[in-house]
Amino acid sequence: MGRRILINICKGAVLGGACLCLFASGVAAAAPSKATYSNLLTRAEAYKTADHEQFLRVLAQLRKQEDRLPPAQKWHLRFLVAWQDAFAGKLDKADPIVHDIIAHSHDKPLVIRAKALLINILSRNYHYEKAFMLANGLMAQLPRVKDARARADSLRSIVQMLGLAGQYGKALDYAKQLQAARVPGESRCPAYAYEINALSSANRLSSESRRLRNGIEVCIADKQLVYANTLRLDKASLLNDEGHSTQAIALLHQIAPSIRRNNFEPHVASMHAALARAYLAKGNDIAAKKSALAALAVNKNSGSTWPSQAAYKVLYQVEKNLGHDAAALSYYEKYVALSNEATNNTKASALAYQMVKQQVLAKKLKLDALTKKNRILKLRQALAEKAAENGRLYTALLLIVLIVIVMWLYRLKHSQLRFRRMARHDDLTETFNRQHFLDQAKRLLKRLSKAEADACLIIMDLDHFKRINDLYGHIAGDDVLKHVVEISRRELRTSDVFGRLGGEEFGILMPGCSSAQGAEIGERIRRALATTPIELNARDAVTVSASFGLSCTSISGYVLVQLLIDADAALYVAKRSGRNRLIVGTGKEARFIAPDRGISSTSPPLSEQ
């Protein structure tokens, strides 16, 4: 459901009465009462998704009076501030506020609402395992939650996480409970929106669906414009999918003023992306390109990769239509990269859901085991009063039960650890796999960037590796890869991140390394490989060389993608220059470092790849 507009931030809102009026000068002069503060907080809740401009005005008014607020209302205000930060994509600002509310507020319903908001923040930061663990706790707590607003917020976060895990049936079941959990006087719109989103994720929705039409009508009638725009963008995406591009364009132009007024980045970016797709279908390449570029310009902090993914796909098709092959290829590569990222995120969320499910099961088994153990102890005490012979027999049987339970728990824990390791390491070489290497590298570069510390990235590719597989077989090729990893690790530091990027290609990120130091380490590895033969069998031994491309943050910056591009370009120069050498990338050109020594072997010469 990458093309569907996901409901990522929208929370429940109390239906407001009339528009918010300014206080008269006489009222402003007097100190507001507790009832006034409570009324302002209620109005803020009502305007969150109905009229965001009014919500910001009320929030600003409350913040000016924050020092006068009673403690409970002060915590409520802090929650609204965190909600606004999350709405605006400022997740780093919202996160500490939410944690503070959870840790120190004594308002239980507000703590539950803060946990629901934290689930949203964690999922948008791709911390799926923590988000699912928190959502699972809310599921267990839900039957005891009596506060209507806290229950509604919990249900919304649960629906969101089940949708991310692909559990669309369960998501729809919880979405239907939102109608019953509605805050008294609140609009039916949020419940409609989450139910429709669950139907859309399960591919059970079309542009003509009565449920979608009713939901849009209810949200517009109740002035819940954020939800209304979400549903109308969903409809526009469905119209595009169904081939009704003219209707999609008309609908998008109709809702554009409302979307721009709320200035919710995911909506603005999605609107431009949907317009780009529709214009492309109509053959209007100029308008399609303009809308696609607008989507990319907006979609920086939206938390959704779909608008950028759709925009790059449109730009690729437009440039291809115009015969601009180089530009088309560039856009296509960016589209594929985002597609892979979306796929990886989907896999990560599904994996996190299953891991949390296993952890919950493990805790249940542990609790059951403890319960059984207590029963066993009581039984043993009763048996002690009986004959010694019967007592020994029953004790032996009970010990067997205990051993079986312990063995089962041990096997379950062992399976969890093995599964986690398999998700992070390459089975053959025991190095990090590509995805975990990239994740670790991104996190490390982020820390190094803040500390303004240097780092270098090496991409190492074995020379003529295909010939080894062709001449000696793939088992020999596997032995060579293990040999290369063992040699390389001898030259690396404990702080270096080492991973297999694919095939015979490896990546090394070296923190605290200047260009010269990085080149020295790479050169040591190159020499060690070129001078250390490996025996493949009793008759054959080969010496494998490798080509190295080096990029450094001092030139390429701290963005991993740019470091990879520059290192890969340097590697390409090394290959073209004769292999068995290290080339330092400078961003625009590559600097020659090491002479070519080729491949030496006691076996017959190997043909080129």
What SS3 class is residue 590?
Answer: strand
Residue 205 belongs to some domain of the structure:
no
Question: What does pLDDT average to over the chain?
Answer: 81
| 133 is a domain residue | yes
32: pLDDT confidence band, cut at 50, 70 and 90? low
Which strand (E) or helix (H) includes residue 516? helix 515-531
Ranked by mean pLDDT, the top range of 62-71, 305-314, 403-412, 504-513 is 504-513
Structural domain count, the chain: 3
Based on the fold, state whether residues 402 and 470 are members of the same structural domain.
no
Q: What pLDDT is attached to residue 35?
A: 65
Q: What is the phi-psi region of residue 182: left when phi exceeds 0, alpha when psi lies from -120 to 50, beta otherwise?
A: beta
d(CA 271, CA 408): 53
What is the C-alpha separation between 546 and 599, in angstroms, rounded?
A: 9
Q: Which residues contact 5 (CB under 8 A, 6 or more apart)?
A: 230, 233, 234, 237, 266, 267, 270, 306
121 and 71 share a domain? yes
List alpha helices for 89-143, DSSP H.
91-104, 108-124, 128-141
State mean pLDDT over 172-185.
74
Choose the final residue of a domain: 125, 143, 161: 143
Domain match, 418 and 444 both: no
End-to-end, the C-alpha distance of the chain in Å comes to 41
Residues 403 and 527 in one domain: no
Last residue of a domain, one of 370, 393, 424: 424
Q: For residues 351 and 445, state if they share a domain.
A: no
Pick the last residue of a domain from 94, 110, 143: 143
In a domain, 96, yes or no: yes
pLDDT tens digits for range 258-299: 888 877 788 888 899 899 899 989 889 899 889 888 888 887
Same domain (yes/no): 113, 10: yes
d(CA 217, CA 193): 11
Q: What distance lies between CA 200 and its chain's CA centroid?
A: 21
Helix (H/G/I), strand (E/B), else coil: 4: coil
Evaluate if residue 58 carries a pLDDT over 70.
Answer: yes
Contacts of 56 (CB under 8 A, 6+ apart): 84
Determine the structural domain holding residue 385 and report its residue range: 342-424
- Looking at the fold, whether 391 and 526 belong to one and the same domain comes out as no
Rounded to the nearest angstrom, the gap between the alpha carbon of residue 134 and the centroid of all alpha carbons in its chain is 16
Same domain, 359 and 447: no
Task: Give the other-Cβ count within 10 Å of 97's Cβ.
Answer: 18
Distance CA 372, CA 366 (A): 10
Q: Are residues 8 and 34 in the same domain?
A: yes
Residue pointed to by tokens 């390109």: 289
Percent of the chain at pLDDT above 70?
86
Q: Is residue 85 part of a domain?
A: yes
Q: For residue 603, is it within any domain?
A: no
Indicate whether 558 and 418 sit together in one domain: no
pLDDT tens profile 543-576? 899 999 999 999 999 999 999 999 999 999 999 9
CA–CA distance, 111 with 75 (Å, rounded to integer): 10
**Statement to judge: residues 470 and 396 lie in one domain:** no
3-state helix, strand, coil in the chain (%, to 5): 70, 5, 25
Nearest to 373 by CA among 406, 422, 335: 406
Q: Is residue 601 part of a domain?
A: no
CATH number for 564: 3.30.70.270
Is residue 81 in a domain?
Answer: yes
How many Å apart are CA 114 and CA 137, to the nearest integer? 13
Residue 425 DSSP symbol: B
The answer to which of 40-44, 261-265, 322-326 has the lowest mean pLDDT is: 261-265
> What element of type H or E holds 338?
helix 325-384
In a domain, 282, yes or no: no
Q: Is the pLDDT of residue 590 over 80?
A: no
Least confident of 186-200, 407-421, 449-463, 509-523: 407-421
Mean pLDDT of 454-478: 92
CA dihedral 208, 211, 217, 220 (to 10 degrees): -110
Q: What does the alpha-carbon distance between residue 405 and residue 369 come to, in Å, rounded to a whole number?
A: 7
Q: What is the mean pLDDT of residues 239-243?
A: 88
- Of the candidates 153, 149, 186, the one whose C-alpha atom is nearest the C-alpha of residue 15 is 186
CA angle at residue 198 from 10 to 123, to 5 degrees?
50
Higher per-residue pLDDT: 460 or 175: 460
Q: Residues in the chain, how many?
A: 609
- Mean pLDDT of the 23-32 span: 34
What is the DSSP secondary structure assignment for residue 143, as one 8-state letter? Answer: G
Pair (15, 93) in one structural domain: yes
Tokens, residue 592 = 């020659």
The single-letter DSSP state of residue 226 is H
pLDDT of 418: 63
Q: Shortest CA distance to 361 belongs to which of 411, 425, 422?
A: 411
What pLDDT score was predicted for residue 136?
A: 87
pLDDT of residue 576: 94
pLDDT at site 606:
37
Grouping H, G, I as helix, E, B as strand and the rest as coil, residue 184 is coil
Tokens representing 76 are 């409520």
CA dist., res. 256 & res. 246, Å (int): 15
